[in-house]
Structure 1
Amino acid sequence: MARSIRTVHPQQTIINRYWWLMAAIVVFAAITPSLLLTAPAVAAQLASQWGLNPAQIGNLFMVELGAMSIATLPAFWWLKRVNLSKAAFISGLIFIIGNLLSAIVADYTTLMALRLFTALGAGSLMIICMSSAARLPNASRAYGLWVLGQLTLGAIGLQVLPRLFQHYGLAACYITLAILMAVALPLTRSFPASIANTEINSTPELNKGKATMGLLAIFCFYISLSGVWTFIGSISSSASINAQDTGQILAVATVMGIIGAGGAALIGNRLSQSLLLIIGYAVMATAVLLLKGRPDLLRFTIAALAFKFTWTFILPLLLARIVELAPSGSLMNASNLVIGSGLAVGPCIAGYLIQSSGDYSSTLLGATTLILLSLILILISRSNASA
């Protein structure tokens, strides 16, 4: 009996590779920054289990998020010289080892060193995801799914982690991250062996003054949001809202973040982006101010939901402005560095302000000021911008 030969159309092979690569990008881009997405729960656990003060917690997050940002610098050299699939696999192993070791240490300094080590692997993996997504036929779809993946994992984490912490302590977070990465590790084979050479130099159409203001707007935006989001669980605790209610509220807030990102994508260019930015920033600033004092359950819920919704609604508009300023994409690597720096600096500044003042008022007022400054900078950079 003749054996039937099944042929695979080349077009189908390309489609399959596309979706496997898309899956790898979304999964790894969700796992690597998950500590930020679950920062309120982790920060509260560091305070209760390890007895860390706000400044120490802020420093810990600064080291981890800063290392993810610093990983961008050597990537300018190795990104076009190594096999991305192998580099992703090694980065994933570093992430797994760092988290497993973090789960068994009991010393603050050692934990900080391990989080730096882990974050270098996470940052390298994130850079591979960004570079691969930028070269897909529909990069906007990749980044849209990227955000949705991150927010979905964050919502699950904020719901599950407080319960795991009650039984297993802080180690539950790090072990869970190691397991997730181990399960996802086979997807590293979906990354390409190399990426096409592209120049990162400034292009003639780049207005350096407006580009600087755009990057500063992103920097201020991320300092404010990371400072508030890291300690929002502590704000809730100081207002005598129990941990379970807080976890549920923040999980719903993350769902609101998904809606915010989806809303920005659906609206697109149908409305004035400047008007959308003004509305978004105004609501975000109001949400931060609602956290002042000792908010009751209703006020805290409204503030948390509005804060997360506007955070993810504004972000696509900010990044779209960066693309307008440099259509060649020459600013995207700088944007990644600025985002990582803002994420690292925000918790550190917030922690020291809380430590020195004894309450959260100065942190929240500072965050509100940075939000308004970010709005002013992005509006100035948008003046006379192309559509």
Structure 2
Amino acid sequence: MMRARNSALAGADPGMTDVNGWKAVTSAIVLGTIGVLSFIIQPGIVQGFVTELGMSESAAVDLAGMEMLGVALATIALAIFGGRVDWRHVVAAGLLAAVIGNVGSAMADGSAFAFARFVAGLGEGAIISISFTFVGVTRRTERNVALYLLMLLTYGAFTLWQLPAILDAIGFPGLFSAFAIVSALAAITIGQVPRAFVADAMDNPEARQLSRGLLGVALAGVLAYNLAQGIAWAVLFLVGTGAGLGEQQVADSLFLSQIVAIAGALASVFLASRLNRNAAIAFGILVGAASIALLLGKPSLMLFTLGVCGFNFLWNFVLPFILGRICDFDTSGRMMALAIAMQMTGLGGGPLIAARLIDGTGYGAVLALCIALFIASFALLQLPIRHHRALLRVQPHQPLGQGSGAPD
């Protein structure tokens, strides 16, 4: 994992709590979870749009994509302008947008409903971007990332498992109202958010500067990987019910996959210094593609469970390795923000692409595109990885830069 010696700035606010204190760390973790309240249970929400609201499957996936489009746009904007704005103001605006979007979603329908989900997505994207960076500036980054992932994946597992019952009891108006209330309550964390940060010298023996062209190829690989993830995550529930499985059976399988995902995230944290990062990336991407291949056709409950568990475990296992290696390609410290922007663009664009491939005859085309994008991401990442490996051989001394690495 990345280890930065970053100093949080309070912007002439001497009373600001130390970012490494338990209140600040807790606030970062809470904000990170607020940012993914909807996304982490997206398969169940898409299924609910179909069963509860009577939408077509393509329309339901498209609606999820509208929310993720908002997330992507907010993340891209902060990647470009995040160094010029007060983080507290961004979080306050993000929480306000999330509240407005979720209240609107509870009350509206039709095009107004879609716009409300887009507004909620803008707020979520702002919160996700700041909270991710907030965790990154803490001293015990690995531990705090693990706690962050544990919190959001635990929420996702239990909520996704019980979502059919929740929707039966309170419907989408109740669910989105709950999201709005929780987002409003999260305003108590704003005082713990640093206003900005200054990146000091980084102790990273693996950072080497690649050319702009190779950096572009690396970011394209991140985009392709997350497009595949966004496509798959949006349609998993539909794939299960389309194979003849009951809604609760699918929910149970996805619940198990979220529990397994926690293990994948923790494995990436605790094994980061022991594994060959490039081999871990190859394994995670290619076996992730094989997991999706298990869902082709009409998988049995066993195959469906195996496929979604493999997919979710490897997603949470390999993503930190990919982001860590991306940061090793640049010594200026800018690649993380750009990589997160590509991640959110992929997760947002995935459902929009998937919606246009759903024709009522099955999900073969959607899953095939997902697998192809996994393979494309692997191929794209190999070029900068190989050039980086060559630079490690000819440039033995560490330059000043961002990121970290496990030994190759």
Please say whether Structure 1 and Structure 2 have the same fold, judged by a TM-score greater than 0.5: yes
Whole-Å Cα distance in 2 between the matches of residues 238 and 16 of structure 1?
47
Task: Give the secondary structure class of the aligned counterpart of 2:230.
Answer: helix
Q: How many residue pairs are counted as aligned between the two chains?
A: 369
Give the equivalent residue in structure 1 for 2:168.
Answer: 166
Shifted more, 188-197 versus 112-121: the winner is 188-197
Q: 1:150 aligns with which of 143, 149, 152?
A: 152
In 1: Cα distance, 2:295 partner to 2:89 partner: 45
User: What's the counterpart of residue 365 of structure 2?
Assistant: 362
Instruction: Supply the AA of the counterpart residue of 1:274.
Output: N
Question: 1:90 Cα deviation (Å)?
Answer: 3.3
Match of 1:340 among 337, 344, 362: 344
SS in 2 for 1:58: helix
SS of 1:170's equivalent in the other structure is helix
Q: How does 1:46-125 map to 2 (within 5 A)?
A: 46-75=49-78, 79-107=82-110, 109-125=111-127
The correspondence for 2:141, drawn from 133, 139, 143, is 139
- Aligned-partner residue type, residue 243 of structure 1: E
Deviations 1:172-222 (A, max 9, x none): 331221232233221121112443489xxxx99243233222211111111
Residue 252, structure 1, aligned to residue 266, structure 2: no
Q: Which is worse superposed, 272-281 or 77-86? A: 77-86
State the SS of the aligned residue for 2:179: helix
Counterpart of 2:265?
261
Distance 1:382 1:272 in 2: 12
Aligned equivalents of 1:111 and 1:87: distance in 2? Answer: 24
In structure 1, give the amino acid aligned to 2:289: A
Q: What displacement does 1:74 show?
A: 4.0
**1:35 counterpart (29, 35, 38):** 38
Answer whether contact 1:36 1:230 (CA < 8 A) is retained. no
Distance in 2 between the 1:345 and 1:359 partners?
20
Within the alignment, does 1:282 sit opposite 2:299 as a pair?
Answer: no
Q: 1:343 to 1:366 in 2, by over 3 A?
A: same
* 1:111-163 C-alpha deviation (Å, 9 max, x unpaired): 11111112222222222223323332233443333333221221122022211
**Superposed CA RMSD:** 2.3
Kept in 2: contact 1:161–1:173 (CA 8 A): no
**Structure (1 or 2) with the greater helix fraction:** 1
CA shift at 1:78, angstroms? 5.8
The code of the aligned residue for 1:268 comes to: A
Measure the CA separation in 2 of the matches of 1:332 and 1:48. Answer: 39
- Going from structure 1 to structure 2, the CA distance change for 1:216 and 1:114 (only over 3 Å counts) comes to same
CA distance in 1, matches of 2:327, 2:29: 21
Query: CA–CA distance in 1 between the matches of 2:260 and 2:338?
Result: 28
Paired position in structure 2 for 1:7: none
Q: Percent identity?
A: 23
Pick from 297, 300, 308 the counterpart of residue 296 of structure 1: 300
Partner-residue secondary structure (3-state), 1:103: helix
State the Cα deviation string for residues 261-289 of structure 1 (Å, max 9, x = none): 11122221323222222322232111111
Bigger drift between 71-80 and 208-217 goes to: 71-80
1:374 & 1:73 partners in 2: Cα distance? 20
Q: Aligned match of 2:234 in 218, 230, 247?
A: 230
> Cα gap change, 1:62/1:138 in structure 2, threshold over 3 Å: closer, same or farther?
same
Give 3-state SS (helix, strand or coil) of 1:325's partner.
Answer: coil
CA distance in 1, matches of 2:259, 2:342: 26
Counterpart-to-counterpart distance in 2, 1:17 and 1:282 = 37
SS in 2 for 1:136: coil
Which shifted more, 76-85 or 58-67? 76-85
Tell me what 2:4 maps to. Answer: none
What TM-score does the superposition give when structure 1 sets the normalisation length?
A: 0.88
Contact 1:71/1:120 (8 A) holds in 2: yes
Counterpart secondary structure, 1:183: helix
CA contact (8 A) 2:66 2:352 kept: no
Aligned to 2:218: 214
- CA separation of 1:77 and 1:338: change in aligned 2, threshold 3 A: closer
Instruction: Tell me the residue number matched to 1:177.
Output: 179
CA positional deviation for 1:25: 1.2
Equivalent position amino acid for 2:64 in 1: F
- Cα distance change of structure 1 residues 17 and 381 upon mapping to structure 2, 3 Å threshold: closer
**Aligned partner of 2:121: which letter?**
A
The whole-number CA distance in structure 1 between the counterparts of 2:274 and 2:182 is: 39
C-alpha separation between the residues in 2 aligned to 1:267 and 1:94? 38
Unaligned runs of 5+ in 2: 1-15, 201-206, 393-406
Tell me the SS of whatever aligns to 1:255. Answer: helix
* Matches of 1:62 and 1:75, distance apart in 2: 20
CA offset at residue 73 of structure 1?
Answer: 4.4
Counterpart CA distance in 2 for 1:222 and 1:16 is: 30
Alpha carbons of structure 1 residues 331 and 157: separation in structure 2 relative to 1, 3 Å: same
Counterparts of 1:364 and 1:214, CA distance in 2: 23
Instruction: Give the stretch that moved more between structures: 113-122 or 142-151.
Output: 142-151
Equivalent position SS for 2:197: coil
- Contact 2:277/2:325, CA 8 A, preserved across alignment: no
Q: Give 3-state SS (helix, strand or coil) of 1:101's partner.
A: helix
